[in-house]
Structure 1
């Protein structure tokens, strides 16, 4: 039946066990239960505020960086490409239905939760990219069959096969290079514990902020009392036991009455003894570690001593270690797939302007511009352009350096001229011959 397996694989993709922890069935039922007793999936992980915050902290910069198509220009340097179909759309409206920020944040969020973010590249008759459309990661998968590699996706209930070059695939860690690993799946036990702590806290408050225990009766319960213990008020048979239910947030401040002299004996460990709050803080740090996000960015200031310069260094590390690798993933994927072979030969490439992170910091931005201007790297017009201000005319295109600066070659040449022009018989300052 090998022919049937081959035919089925070509029509429906490779088969997978229903128990596959990364398969569709397990994901459909919330990823299965963790050892903490909670179910974790890419869908419900976002219900944890710390997961939502981590994804936001990474996806927001990716979504807001200015994005341009550039190419090398004669004489050195680069210039912006303005005649490409995506020149204006890439940074503003990659398709008619959504902004560039919306598309980039959606795809980046998919990559941070599912491990894979996909966007379809729509092309014109010349093969040029004209639009980008996000694809749902739970409906899209890369398929490799013999010498073919493509993406299979479902849109509005219909299945499509998209060429490999027509899909942007943003991912981080992978074992085979084709499919990214889901961070949520890899850290499902840590996330499951965090969800369990959320549920425990909610149930604790719903039960009048009291832990569990048992009811002690001095004698033997009557049949009516036994039935009343497990029934709501409207279903109780004994008129004398027609009492409100004991638990629940709505009954938190009402008087509780136990039947026939029963007493409540607490048996479980109180939350303060179980270090409930400390455990919750630890899980926040554990999930922040999973996404490489500093705790200070998650409004978690517990035991934080890094202030001033310390926070500045944390932010630099966050940009270098967390944001920059994702920017590299976007740029490499776009630079290869967005452009035709002819455009790649002309040197077309996409560039994220990460200097946009400095927009909210006037002091740091001013210092950066001043340093770049003082070494001749930036002209006044270049600085004005980065600030979205009008240029000051042709004179603003000049680059300036301090007059007391010079090249090493000029310094050596000046020393040589000084030595050659000196009088070897000139006397020294003490009256003796100059050596």
Structure 2
């Protein structure tokens, strides 16, 4: 391994990029836009109501399951050490960085899931074992092998269908450029907001001047931080606005392009957009107002587009994986599923919701309890499950030929009286 950037480091997605900085799933979080994108996606998923549901025994629709060992724990405390929000945010955060999120399922003697435990994605992975799949993981330095059916594995894109692709590894050059510009900006301010250059001397340096500029072995001393280096440090914020002295008629000549000429701010803004594309997060949700969204001008349309385009695919991935592995065959046969409630982000403003509920209630589609549940309010008891329709609504065939009345006031067409 040469220069700390050998084949093994590159294989793991680390090492230096073309911009000269190292990028991996941990270092990428130091770039604010990566941190923000992961937060924008993980936060709503971590806060959506999350329940176990199954079909009602009568009347149709779904009901909340309260008699499953995981019912009270899934949303509130998937294990004894973390809350439901922390658990789901960690799971989604792992997928958005490593491309894979793993949870081990702890079961009781009946085979029912009772706890969910996160596994570190950089220490866990699936392996083919004949015709089956097993997961190997490392916990506290010990190796474990877990059956495929006892591991929740969330991923997005994959080359082979077994292991997800790390977004950080795929976008490491774009992220590396963003980190390089962060470092460049920091060093620019640390260097008293001056670009690099060289010192021009009208003649030959005296021995004393050479000693001040270089050390005894020829190393450069101009920016040495050690006070004993032979020259007072000139750069840095601590020395900003102080008078600098160049000896023996030396002159500083700037050679690099100033940040304004290199369009430094514009480049940084472009990198924000570039990384936002990786995660499908609208720029306005990242406090970047350089471009407008194409999903509509209102915040309602923006949020609906964000939920449907970005959040919904992850919700589907989590639900489908958990629905297959969390429940026993009997539970799956009974229609038991986990369900996120995304209505909090989809229901729009108060007026729009009121109009929607009024229409759905008027045609008998929603009961009062269903509307209250969508608004996260308590129901009104069994009577609230009734469905209502307006008495003035009749089928079209009755409007054309009302019951009991035929053409011209006679008996109904087709009746015995009409045929006489």
How many angstroms apart in 2 are the aligned matches of 1:176 and 1:396? 50
Counterpart residue number, 2:416: none
Provide, for residues 344-366 of structure 1, a one-character-per-residue CA deviation record: whole Å limited to 9, x for no partner: 11111111111122589544444
Which SS does the other structure have where 1:88 is aligned?
helix
Is 1:152–1:159's contact at 8 Å kept on the other side of the alignment? yes
Q: 1:86 to 1:213 in 2, by over 3 A?
A: same
Is 1:72–1:79's contact at 8 Å kept on the other side of the alignment? yes
Match of 2:227 among 212, 222, 234: 234
* Pairing 1:335-350 to 2, within 5 Å after superposition: 335-350=323-338
Q: 1:312 to 1:424 in 2, by over 3 A?
A: closer
How many angstroms apart in 1 are the aligned matches of 2:291 and 2:314? 29
**Per-residue deviation, 1:68:** 1.1
Counterpart residue number, 2:400: 415
Match of 2:15 among 14, 20, 32: 32
Counterpart residue number, 1:246: 234
Q: Which moved more, 1:169-178 or 1:304-313?
A: 304-313
Counterpart residue number, 1:41: 24
Q: 1:89 to 1:418 in 2, by over 3 A?
A: closer
> In the alignment, does 2:141 pair up with 1:133?
no
Provide, for residues 195-224 of structure 1, a one-character-per-residue CA deviation record: whole Å limited to 9, x for no partner: 111001001100111111111101111222
Provide, for residues 153-208 of structure 1, a one-character-per-residue CA deviation record: whole Å limited to 9, x for no partner: 01111110010010100100001000000000000010010011100100110011
Q: 1:66 to 1:303 in 2, by over 3 A?
A: closer
Q: 1:308 to 1:144 in 2, by over 3 A?
A: closer
Q: 1:253 to 1:316 in 2, by over 3 A?
A: same
Is 1:380–1:397's contact at 8 Å kept on the other side of the alignment? yes
> In the alignment, does 2:80 pair up with 1:123?
no
**Per-residue deviation, 1:423:** 3.3
Which SS does the other structure have where 1:68 is aligned?
strand
How many angstroms apart in 2 are the aligned matches of 1:308 and 1:416? 46
Which SS does the other structure have where 2:102 is aligned?
strand
Is 2:300–2:348's contact at 8 Å kept on the other side of the alignment? no
Q: Which moved more, 1:118-127 or 1:379-388?
A: 379-388
Counterpart residue number, 2:47: 64
Provide, for residues 279-323 of structure 1, a one-character-per-residue CA deviation record: whole Å limited to 9, x for no partner: 000000000001000001001012437797444322221111110
Q: 1:223 to 1:136 in 2, by over 3 A?
A: same
Aligned residues: 395
Is 1:143–1:151's contact at 8 Å kept on the other side of the alignment? yes
Counterpart residue number, 1:87: 71
Counterpart residue number, 1:428: none
Which SS does the other structure have where 1:332 is aligned?
helix
Match of 2:390 among 393, 398, 402: 402
Which SS does the other structure have where 2:316 is aligned?
helix
Provide, for residues 353-394 of structure 1, a one-character-per-residue CA deviation record: whole Å limited to 9, x for no partner: 111225895444444433432332222222223334333344
Which SS does the other structure have where 1:94 is aligned?
coil
**Per-residue deviation, 1:252:** 1.2
Match of 1:377 among 354, 365, 375: 365
How many angstroms apart in 2 are the aligned matches of 1:270 and 1:177? 48
Counterpart residue number, 1:295: 283
Which SS does the other structure have where 1:89 is aligned?
helix
Which SS does the other structure have where 1:423 is aligned?
helix
How many angstroms apart in 2 are the aligned matches of 1:398 and 1:307? 38
How many angstroms apart in 1 are the aligned matches of 2:358 and 2:171? 45
Which SS does the other structure have where 1:144 is aligned?
strand
* Pairing 1:359-374 to 2, within 5 Å after superposition: 361-374=349-362
Match of 2:259 among 253, 271, 274: 271
How many angstroms apart in 2 are the aligned matches of 1:22 and 1:109? 22
How many angstroms apart in 2 are the aligned matches of 1:69 and 1:172? 23
How many angstroms apart in 2 are the aligned matches of 1:388 and 1:419? 46
**Per-residue deviation, 1:85:** 0.3
Provide, for residues 252-298 of structure 1, a one-character-per-residue CA deviation record: whole Å limited to 9, x for no partner: 12111011110111111110010000000000000000100000100
